[in-house]
């Protein structure tokens, strides 16, 4: 099971990857970062991405039907999404995709044994980036990531 550094290096192998970070959306701090970042400052990029992630994760409109924000579970007593169970809290949103003229930003929320307030942020160059592949691989990485 990979740690933060291994996970970020794996993310950088995605086609078109320019930068990758693991960010805590509660504090806005990057727990790890590699590559380039918009504006050249990975801490500022982490704080700005965290603001978007936090706003999205806290909105009821984006949560699955029956989602209970208090325990990260759906209304049927089980965990929603693809979490591994066993006390793992699933965030209400799987990922966010933000596109602009020259790049994509993919934010993948990571289920954790604590409050699930972290996400992987990958910045992809638009001409080389592959959103479908990025979503699949980031989902796999989020499921294997070991925090602690």
N residues, the chain: 148
Angle at alpha carbon of residue 125, lines to 7 and 52, rounded to 5°? 70
Which stretch of DSSP H or E encloses residue 137?
helix 131-144
Topology annotation, domain 4-57+69-144: Beta-Lactamase (3.30.450)
Taking each helix axis from N to C terminus, what angle separates 4-11 and 131-144, rounded to the nearest 10 degrees?
Answer: 170
* Phi, psi angle pair for 123, to nearest 5°: -105, 120
Tokens 């504006």 locate to: 39
Residue 72 exposed, middle or buried by CB count within 10 Å (0-12, 13-18, 19+): buried
Could you list the pLDDT tens digit for every one of the 148 residues in the chain?
A: 578 999 999 999 999 999 999 999 999 999 999 999 988 999 999 999 999 999 998 888 888 887 766 555 544 444 444 444 445 567 778 999 999 999 999 999 998 777 778 999 999 999 999 999 999 999 999 988 877 5
- What predicted TM-score, i.e. pTM, was given to this entire model? 0.83
Instruction: Report helix, strand or coil for 46.
Output: helix
């Amino acid at each position: 099971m990979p740690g933060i550094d291994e996970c970020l290096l794996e993310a950088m192998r995605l086609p078109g990857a320019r930068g990758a970070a693991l960010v805590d959306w509660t504090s806005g701090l990057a727990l790890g970062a590699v590559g380039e970042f918009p504006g050249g400052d990975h801490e500022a990029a982490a704080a700005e991405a965290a603001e978007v992630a936090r706003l999205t994760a806290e909105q009821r409109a984006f949560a699955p039907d029956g989602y209970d924000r208090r325990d990260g579970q759906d209304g049927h007593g089980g965990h929603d999404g693809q979490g591994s169970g066993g006390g793992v809290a699933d965030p209400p949103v799987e990922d966010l995709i933000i596109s602009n003229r020259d790049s994509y930003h993919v934010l993948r929320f990571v289920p954790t044994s604590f409050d699930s307030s972290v996400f992987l942020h990958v910045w992809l160059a638009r001409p080389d980036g592959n959103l479908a592949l990025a979503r699949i691989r980031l989902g796999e990485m989020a499921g294997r990531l070991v925090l602690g």
